């Protein structure tokens, strides 16, 4: 029953986050039409797991596909993309869909993704069964990326992190939070945290964006996020962690100065976009102190990394900016 994937830390490792030895878990050609499958999200579902996968086809058109797994590692991904029905609006235009996140709130699974509507913005849909999907109003005006919902209402409202951006390969980006009473109208926008000064922590000095759904811990919300540095060879994406106040999440209590996972092995350094580690989901088991992080590697494949929640929190507190 929903036993999350796990592999013990290698004995000689002193990392807080370690890679699954059988990575990548999803190959670029896992469905017949795909050029690449990466930046994808999973959740516990029935007696196993379900997910929403970013599969770019061989025309390099971006779309999202549902998938299912018994163990969280071996996935069956549908060969046809998700077809949306009208949810809380008839306006479900979408030029493309990418970088999905998935979360269960109250009675259904909510999906957010980067939706093409005159440029990238945040799309929202819900499903009860990962068969029928209902698209809702876009959360924000273009341009925006990395819309990540909290798994429960905060002070009576739905809450979402996002990263206002531009229409290209955005050279800036800070994390904001917005609230909604109904998943349709979003407001009360607040800045959560910004890219750093180069000299303070260079790996996150160009832009940052929320990754997996935040996890509520004794210390507050554990938010894994990606940070980017612009090098002479282009962007390099790594993962860090922050802890946000439980009731006022725009209050950042701690944030890692070092990254927790950076592109260092072949499948992260070599691919369609080299040097990208891009986390979009994390399964967790608070009682067993386990975290299984799903991340896109080099914009080409999906990989898995593990950590102990308590160690991530301790490390974040002890190595905070």
Residues 220-239 interacting with ligand BMA (rule: CB under 6 A): 237
From the list 168, 193, 151, 154, the residue with the least C-alpha distance to 283 is: 151
Least CB distance to ligand BMA at residue 250 (A): 23
**Window contacting ligand BMA (CB under 6 A); options: 129-137, 211-219, 261-269, 272-280:** 272-280
Binding residues for ligand BMA, total number by CB under 6 A = 10
Q: CA-CA distances (angstroms) from residue 249 to 29, 159, 196, 312?
A: 39, 9, 19, 18
Least CB distance to ligand BMA at residue 210 (A): 13
Say if CB 317 and CB 196 are below 8 A apart: no
Told to check if 67 binds ligand BMA by CB under 6 A, we report: no
Told to check if 56 binds ligand BMA by CB under 6 A, we report: no
Told to check if 39 binds ligand BMA by CB under 6 A, we report: yes
Q: Which of 75, 186, 278, 315 binds ligand BMA (CB under 6 A)?
A: 278
C-beta of 183 vs 238, nearer to ligand BMA: 238
Least CB distance to ligand BMA at residue 66 (A): 19
Q: Would you give the DSSP letter of residue 173? A: -
Residues 77-116 interacting with ligand BMA (rule: CB under 6 A): 98-99
From the list 7, 116, 135, the residue with the least C-alpha distance to 62 is: 116
> CB atoms < 10 A from the CB of 29, how many?
13
Least CB distance to ligand BMA at residue 166 (A): 10
Q: Which residue has the tokens 């905060």?
A: 154
Dihedrals φ, ψ of 315, to 5°? -65, -40
In terms of DSSP H, where are the helices of 175-308? 266-269
């Amino acid at each position: 029953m929903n036993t999350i994937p796990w592999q013990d830390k290698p004995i000689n490792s002193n990392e807080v986050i370690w890679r699954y030895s059988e990575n990548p878990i999803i190959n670029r050609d896992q469905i017949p039409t795909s050029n690449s499958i990466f930046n994808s999200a999973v959740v516990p579902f029935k007696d196993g797991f379900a997910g929403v996968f970013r599969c770019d086809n061989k025309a390099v058109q971006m779309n999202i596909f549902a998938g299912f797994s018994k163990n969280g590692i071996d996935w069956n991904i549908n060969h046809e993309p998700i077809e949306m029905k009208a949810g809380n609006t008839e306006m479900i235009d979408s030029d493309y869909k990418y970088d999905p996140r998935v979360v269960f709130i109250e009675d259904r699974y909510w999906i957010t993704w980067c939706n093409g509507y005159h440029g990238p913005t945040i799309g929202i849909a819900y499903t009860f069964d990962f068969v029928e999907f209902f698209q809702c109003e876009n959360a924000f005006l273009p341009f925006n990326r990395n819309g990540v919902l909290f798994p429960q209402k905060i002070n009576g409202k739905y809450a979402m992190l996002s990263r206002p951006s531009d229409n290209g390969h955005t050279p800036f980006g800070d994390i904001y939070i917005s609230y909604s009473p109904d998943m349709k109208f979003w407001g009360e926008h607040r800045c959560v945290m910004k890219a750093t000064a180069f000299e303070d922590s260079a790996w996150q000095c160009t832009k940052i964006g929320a990754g997996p759904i935040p996890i509520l811990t004794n210390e507050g919300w554990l938010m894994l996020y990606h940070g980017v540095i612009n090098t002479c060879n282009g962007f390099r994406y790594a993962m860090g962690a922050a802890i946000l106040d439980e009731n006022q999440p725009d209050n950042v209590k701690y944030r890692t100065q070092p990254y927790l996972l950076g592109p260092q092995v072949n499948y992260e350094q070599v691919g369609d976009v080299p040097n990208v580690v891009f986390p979009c989901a994390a399964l967790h088991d608070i009682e067993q102190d386990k975290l299984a992080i799903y991340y896109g590697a080099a914009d080409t494949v999906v990989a898995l990394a593990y950590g102990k929640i308590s160690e991530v929190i301790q490390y974040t507190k002890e190595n905070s900016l």
